[in-house]
Structure 1
């Protein structure tokens, strides 16, 4: 049996023939053998194409501001596997994870589990043992057949729906929306943060009997000169400072998170202590998430580098919106992608804002990685006039981008795409904050 965390993670890669295998049968069977641990007294499950991680972090901050004990489960991680499970803001330790994996191994008795299923069961086990008030769980892929969905959510959130993971979820937004609606439960709230939710999502939510609350109809965010205004029905309006997270779309994520907690607390005769501007302002200011428009300190004077995991067209469009609003000068972009992503859609969304593309291959990092030459071919198809260079690795691409940006004082560096790009950037330039 493995002993260290790294040994366990290597072992988990071998217990199932596929890295992704949607379905609840295996993971539910092992969960039941473990005693069906419920991760907390209340469970909020967050799904969606983009914005899941940010919304989980915002919910965590708001709940902890009110004095509640909160645990979170997110994926993937960037540097340490431990990032995936946090209890009261603290990453769980190696020893805790190893103990959880040992319990899972005993319970599964040879039943094959994927890497993600192992991690999900470990999260449920460790959060349950922590005696939490609330657990906030991020869906890994889709919703209906994601391992997280063995737990019935008291509140479900779907942030956005767009084309991603189409090999598993379907070829259009309606199909993908139906999969994401699978986390909703009859008679329980489902918060939707998508401005134009697909009919498949709405129909599936209605069929499930969920109590649906939609951005723009039931709650929302309006920009102000010095912040933004959150509204909920006709009874609640709060003027708030902008989130510390930079992208304009983070206001929508924050509005959806606040609405989810307002729905949770609506039966209370008085507003809960967290639902006051000062408390929410503290929560919004406290949230920092790596690789979401994260400014990176490269250790010496020069153009600013921002890191973002924009890996699908919707996320790329949000990134382009931030660049437009920022009034950015030409941008030097370092880009690497996975082969199963809509690379053309990402490029099309951003190309008007990019001065030069600095391309790297990820085929040497992960079996799903796209080689640099294939990325260049995709770039040429989507943006035939775009300038680009190919590099053997991330460090060389960053050096090339920095040299190109040095020709102008106002240029910006941007590293984007896969989480593998983000993790390499953060390994080169650790975030000590």
Structure 2
């Protein structure tokens, strides 16, 4: 059989997108059984949620790493390379490991017609075992109940946030979306949630009660934030920590940090020691590119990147922008996929926009710019349409002064293309 190079192995994995999205567990469960169920050989933490799960996962992995554990982190989607989705102690899965996985298991992967996400999930769970991790923090891809990651035996499960997104798959009501997310809850395993809307929290609570799973919700009274300093005080579950300064910026990230701390405070019950000093160091060192990431260069405008791809994400971005850059407006380079609440998102972004610069995404899922230009009420904010991200950025940069702000916001495809092709980030 032909042996793969990394390039051809990556091409094989990406080609699995041909099989589309598969919601269901039988296929990946059977495959994992054939390779020894590697996901059962280390501790896991499983997260679901509409927004905030990637950031919360990155903070938790940072805390665990600061404690001295060898910590795996599985997230999606990626920005530039699929290797970003699988990390151990902050390092992406090595190219030789990707190549070895495909060379060893391609016949079985092909026979079972595993989808792209099933393949990348299986590879991550397998690599964590081979790397000898103590614990892996695993983020769902979509939903929870039928997500390919829902094959774990976690020590704790988490729901970060529930709002409207992917409604064509998960449903439009919060209760329906919550039922899908609640599918990761396991009998007897503690479940910890962020601050959820009441209808969603009711669904989560009912599911936990049914399975005898202790349910703990983060409450506003358990933490105090100082937005001007981006600091956090936390007091709950016998823990009290003051003046924490997470590396990730914004009020939404301070809430995510509070949730990560609450989860950490429960880990000793599962036999996983976590100190308060590890919490402080882990939050301060957490790295999560493309989440209100500000790049400053001498003699050039500041550039802000954020993958705010739904209404909740855009709300968090706008709030963070107004706090970081009070009374300022930005040149907004935007790109979105189809089937989003575009009008609501542009209404929010319009409160900080000097001008919208609209670009297509390098994916068939990109919104049609012509249709969007005709259908959106821009509320008086000027718009310019471009044929490519590169052209948009060059022209915007040329027109800006040193003290101007450029914001590149929207889909992961947009921010990823910028990092890959234009060199920042």
User: What TM-score comes out, normalization by structure 2 length?
Assistant: 0.92
Q: Which residue of 1 aligns with 2:346?
A: 347
Q: What's the CA shift for 1:18?
A: 3.5
SS at structure 2 position matched to 1:295: strand
Question: Alignment RMSD, CA only?
Answer: 2.2
Structure 2 partner of 1:391: 386
SS where residue 148 of structure 1 aligns? coil
Residue pair 2:178, 2:204 contacting (<8 A) in 1 also: yes
Deviations along 1:364-416, whole A, 9 cap, x unmatched? x1111112223323433xx342211001111221233334443xx64321001
Q: CA deviation at 1:214?
A: 0.6
Pair 1:96–1:338, CA change in 2 (3 A): same
Preserved CA contact (<8 Å) 2:311 2:344: yes
- Asked if 1:322 is matched to 2:327, the reply is no
Is the CA contact (8 Å cut-off) linking 1:310 and 1:418 kept in structure 2?
Answer: yes
Change (3 A) 1:386 1:202: farther
Post-superposition offset of 1:305: 0.5
Aligned equivalent of 2:206, options 197, 203, 214: 203
RCO higher in structure (CA 8 A, sep ≥6): 2
Q: SS of the residue aligned with 2:415? A: helix
Deviation at 1:2, TM superposition (A): 6.1
What's the secondary structure of 2:136's corresponding residue? strand
Aligned to 1:141: 142
8 Å CA contact retained: 2:303, 2:406:
yes
For structure 1, which segment, 205-214 or 71-80, has the greater mean C-alpha deviation from structure 2 after superposition? 205-214
**How far apart are 1:236 and its partner, in Å?**
2.2
CA distance in 2, matches of 1:431, 1:57: 21
1:238 match:
241
Aligned counterparts, 1:234-383, within 5 A: 235-266=238-269, 272=273, 274-276=275-277, 279-296=278-295, 301-326=299-324, 327-362=326-361, 365-380=362-377, 383=378
- Compared CA separation, residues 104 and 377, structure 1 to 2 (3 A): farther
Residue 391 to residue 131, structure 1, CA distance change in 2 (3 Å)? same
Q: Deviations over 1:21-77 (max 9, x none)?
A: 211111111111111112652100111111111111111110111111111111111
Residues 1:36 and 1:293: Cα distance change in structure 2 (over 3 Å): same
After TM superposition, give the deviation of residue 319 of structure 1 in Å: 0.7
- The alpha-carbon deviation at position 4 of structure 1 amounts to 2.3
Q: Could you list the per-position Cα deviations for residues 72-123 of structure 1 after superposition, in whole angstroms to 9, with x for gaps in the alignment? A: 1111111122111111222111110121123332434611111110000001
Query: Which moves more between the two structures, 148-157 or 310-319?
Result: 148-157
Structure 1, unaligned runs of 5 or more: none
Shift of 1:339: 0.9
Deviations, residues 269-322 of structure 1 (Å, cap 9, x unaligned): xx955223xx3332222112110011235x662220100000000000001111
CA drift of 1:215 comes to: 1.1
Structure 1 residues 220 and 348, CA, compared in 2 at 3 Å: closer, same or farther? farther
User: Which of 392, 401, 417 is the equivalent residue of 2:410?
Assistant: 417
* Structure 1 residues 354 and 431: CA distance shift in structure 2, 3 A: closer
Q: What is the number of residues matched between the two proteins? A: 419
Q: 1:166-188, CA deviations, whole angstroms, 9 ceiling, x for partnerless residues?
A: 11111111111111111111111
Note if 1:163 corresponds to 2:156: no
Q: Is the 8 A contact 1:296 1:429 kept in 2?
A: no
Q: Determine whether 1:427 maps to 2:424.
A: no
Q: For 1:147, what is the secondary structure of its paired residue? A: coil
TM norm structure 1: 0.90
Shift of 1:266: 4.2
- In terms of mean alpha carbon deviation, does 15-24 or 90-99 score higher? 15-24
Work out the CA distance in 2 between the residues paired with 1:40 and 1:213. 27
| Contact 1:193–1:215 (CA under 8 A) maintained in structure 2 | yes
**Shift of the alpha carbon at 1:358?**
0.3
In structure 2, distance between residues paired with 1:350 and 1:331: 10
Between the aligned partners of 1:205 and 1:246, the Cα distance in structure 2 is 32
State how far apart, in whole Å, the 2-side matches of 1:288 and 1:14 are: 29
Give the secondary structure class of the aligned counterpart of 2:288.
Answer: coil
Q: Call closer, same or farther: CA 1:115–1:2 in 2, change over 3 Å.
A: farther
Write the distance in 2 (CA, Å) between the matches of 1:38 and 1:427: 32
- The alpha-carbon distance between structure 1 residues 211 and 331, as it changes in their structure 2 partners (threshold 3 A), is same
CA distance in 2, matches of 1:15, 1:330: 42
